[in-house]
Chain A
Amino acid sequence: MPAITNRFNYLFRSTKGLVLVAIAMISLVTAIWGTLSGPMVEWGVKDITVRLLGMRLVEAEREGRIIMLYHTIAMAVVAIEVYIITALVPMKGNERTRINGTITVGYITAMVFGLWFAYFGHDFVFHGLFLFGQSLVFFAGVMLAAALWPWKKEYRVQDPAYARGPGGIDLERAAFFTTAVATLGSTLFGAVPGSYFGNGFESFLAENVVREPHKSALQLAVIGHLHIMLTLIAVALALIVGRWLDFKGTLHQMAMPLLIAGTIVVTIGVWTVVPFEEIAHYIIYVGSVLVLLATLFLVIHGFRKLIHERLAEQGIQKASFWPGLSALLHDPLKFGALWQMVYMNFVVTFVGIFMAIRLDKVIRMWTAREERIVLTGHWHILSGIIATIILLYYADLIGLKGKARQWFGWLVILGSDLAFGAVTVFETKRLYVSESAQQPVVNWTMALADLGLAVVLVVLAVLMVWRLVDLFKPDGRWTKELAEAGPVAPVEEASP
């Protein structure tokens, strides 16, 4: 019994265990549901999955199914961020336990019953449980926002190296708080119109309605909702990476106010899409620039720190370019998290800006399907980048060292960047190749994207199998991680 109790405590009461469970859940969903689209359809794997698992896929319900799938994965990603935030940001132990417990029950309930409802026949009890699970995640968010309240005296900052507000308010904590509150509001921004107008039955994908000349409030809210939720997940992750790399100094003092202001402005901008679509985009641009600037400061700080720390380890006082570069690249996990933020600009931000400023002159000269490819590629890449940064963080969290750290880090970076680069070329192919001549470009880019994604997924699978095998060992790595968790120390197992 202690064996089960200990493992349960590890998986559901320690940060490392909770993150592992959520990553494993997402991996499982990705492994199964990934066979239903893309090349897996071409290779006939979809048919096997559907037959084997007894999925009931009604053609008219494809959009609804996909929406539920996105939501279940998003809930787990949000849960991972919440676990990390509750571990990184000072708060009371009982607050941490309540938040983590609630969100865990919430995302697992939403994931299991949401996917069951969407893919295995429609039992509306399961749909209700899907909504209940999401409600729990929302409620956990409310508790998180309360726990992050930045004006609490005990969490004032004394160290001048960190950004402080009036009376020593921790501006980084305030940024976490702002992101949490903005996320809660943006959740309602999607949930309320979704329930009120559609009641969940007339689902549509945002990318399919972008050309509608008169969009309903529901359509605008849905488009806004998915954009802002992904943005806020990215903002929260940037804050997590900042804390991971001990972001401080002048850049920190400049970045935190920018991040807070940017988050507020971009969120209000997106909410404004419904009543004032014409001006909303300008507000969003302003907010986005502030957030991107703050992230740039984080990346500069991080790169400098990686170089200085490595050179100090090597005893080098002053280094030329190549030793400096070598020092920067020494730790692929920390470098990768920052690099992915830089790379995101090439494959997401710049593409998005190009789309916005050349919409009528270029993008809208193509068919709606071509525009849809750019849109879906755009946010799939952003989601993918977020996922890779989380994986790199997790690998560091569990103390991956030596060659394993190097192999894992570099394969995730190179594999994902190869895939995201190829997808970017694919989605923008109409800029440089006509429809009739596109086949070689399609073949190249798809092959490279599949190869890159396969590399990342194989590396992830190896990590997950390693952790699974470890769980079966009585003195596995998990026992140390559980011991480090503090309040939930392992229970002594009886000797055989």
Chain B
Amino acid sequence: MKRAVALLACTVLLLCGCAAQAPVTPPPKIETGADPEAWARVPAGEFLMGPHNHKTLIDYDYEIMVTLATNAQYARYLNAALAAGKVKITDGKAVGYYPGERFHGYRHEKKIEAGDWLHVPLTDKELRLAFDGKAFTAKAGYENHPMTLVTWFGAKAYCEFYGWRLPTEAEWEKAARGADGRPFPWGNEIARNNANFYSSHDPLEKILGALGDTTPVGFYNGKTYDGYQTLDSPSPYGVYDMAGNVWQWTGDIYEGVHYRYLRGGSKADYGYDLRAWTHNSARPDYYSPNVGFRCVRQVSSKGGR
């Protein structure tokens, strides 16, 4: 019995020793060929929404960013927003004004009052932006990775700074799965090289362990990276990264709820959380290395912006 206990203890210790270490060096710069400035058009019409495929109408055309907003884009935005006085730096945080919301007093509802709200925590070591006291830059190797550690306020402010907005849940889902009811942007089933999800065995997981790291935007485009073959995984409208990598903030504000909703699943989630209808929620000032965003913009029915 004593020998068995000793054996058990040794096995446990060995298994515990397998824990992966946190990243210490920046990732290699990976060029995916994706253009983070590109937009994809989603035509007006019905689509099937939710797990039970309820017919839902969006009666206007809109455009959505083909990829997630990147660190380089967000650094550029912060510099412009700082200069314009839309964002300020206080106590190691980038904050911005938000006019607040009506409080309904529902159970568990929290007040969102007018004032300065957190956009980005600048002291978090996981932030992929550098700030020298005057200007922001993206950290080396992370320029084309999705912007993370950004709150809903920070994501909304980014989109609105350029005259765009965060997608509604319906707009997001339609852009992700088209009108044919598929669960994933590319089709009905998920393979490991379709997207960056928990234990999907992408190149960064080999370095960092099962939880991995973000992959550059547009990574899963059919290219081979250092021997790792990806599948081309756009949505029916040509939108990339609509499943996995990072959760994406959506813009809906529901009555009696202070939570904001996230779509798409992330590198830290199992494949089933990447289904297009799956939603997650968090406080609007929540930030995480697994949360990013993209924007939408209106287009006229004749096709011009």
Contact = CB atoms under 8 A, between A and B. Distances in A.
Contact of B272 (A62, A202, A364, A442): A62
Contact of B20 (A62, A204, A369, A443): A443
Given A213-B106, A443-B209, A369 B11 contact: no
A59 B183 contact: yes
A448 to B, nearest CB: 6
Contacts, number: 106
Interface stretch (A136-144, A260-268, A433-441, A464-472): A433-441
Interface in A202-220: 202, 204, 211, 213-214
A211 B260 CA distance: 11
Contacts of A451: 11-12, 15
A214 B208 CA distance: 41
B211 A367 contact: no
Contact of A447 (B15, B53, B183): B15
B210 interface: yes
Contacts of A439: 19-20, 22, 208-211
B12 A213 contact: no
Nearest to A64: B51
Contact of A369 (B18, B199, B273, B283): B273
A300 B16 CA distance: 36
Interface in B1-20: 1, 8, 11-12, 15-16, 18-20
Given A42-B199, A202-B52, A451-B15, A60 B183 contact: yes
A368 B108 contact: no
Interface stretch (B24-32, B138-146, B284-292): B284-292
A180 B70 CA distance: 59
Nearest to A368: B281
Interface string B249-291: 0000011110100100000111111010101111100101110
Contacts of B110: 360
Given A59-B272, A368-B280, A448 B15 contact: yes
B134 interface: no
Contact of A448 (B12, B184, B277): B12
Interface string B106-117: 111110000000
Contacts of B8: 414
Contact of A436 (B126, B189, B281): B126
B12 A63 contact: no
A369 B107 contact: no
B300 interface: no
A111 B8 CA distance: 36
Contact of B262 (A359, A367, A440): A367
Contact of B22 (A213, A278, A437): A437
Contacts of A204: 51
B305 interface: no
A62 B124 CA distance: 37
A359 B271 contact: no
Contact of A368 (B188, B275, B282): B282
B107 A213 contact: yes
A439 B21 CA distance: 8
Contacts of B282: 366-368
A213 B109 contact: yes
A31 interface: no
B286 A367 contact: yes
B302 interface: no
Contacts of B262: 367
Contacts of A443: 16, 18-20, 209-210
Contacts of B199: 41-42
Interface residues of B, number: 57
Nearest to A59: B183
Interface in A268-301: 278
Nearest to A372: B280
Nearest to B201: A42
Nearest to B282: A367
B270 A63 contact: no
A8 interface: no
Nearest to B247: A367
Contacts of A59: 183-184, 188-189, 272, 275
B142 to A, nearest CB: 14
A213 B256 CA distance: 7
A432 interface: no
Contacts of B11: 451
Contacts of B290: 435
Contact of B211 (A369, A438, A448): A438
B256 A369 contact: no
Contact of B125 (A63, A436, A440): A436
A443 B209 CA distance: 9
Contacts of A58: 188
Interface in A449-490: 451
B123 to A, nearest CB: 12
A359 B110 CA distance: 13
Contacts of A202: 52
Nearest to B273: A369
A201 interface: yes
Contact of B257 (A213, A278, A360, A444): A213
Given A435-B289, A444-B16, A213 B254 contact: yes
A397 interface: no
Contact of B108 (A201, A213, A366): A213
A64 B37 CA distance: 40
Contacts of B210: 42, 439, 442-443
A161 interface: no
B8 to A, nearest CB: 8
Given A59-B272, A435-B268, A436-B289, A444 B259 contact: no
Interface in A409-431: 414
A447 B107 CA distance: 38
A438 B198 CA distance: 13
Interface string B198-222: 1100000000111100000000000
Contacts of A365: 283, 286
B196 to A, nearest CB: 14
Interface string B226-267: 000000000000000000000100000011110100100000
Given A211-B281, A451-B15, 17 more contacts: A41-B199, A41-B271, A60-B275, A204-B51, A211-B259, A360-B110, A365-B283, A368-B279, A435-B268, A437-B22, A438-B211, A440-B21, A443-B16, A443-B19, A443-B20, A444-B16, A447-B18
6 contacts: A213-B256, A214-B256, A414-B8, A439-B19, A439-B210, A451-B12
Interface of B: 1, 8, 11-12, 15-16, 18-22, 51-53, 106-110, 124-126, 181, 183-184, 188-189, 198-199, 208-211, 247, 254-257, 259, 262, 268-273, 275, 277, 279-283, 286, 288-290
Rank and list the top 4 A-B pairs by shortest CB-CB distance, nearest first. A59-B183, A447-B15, A440-B19, A42-B199
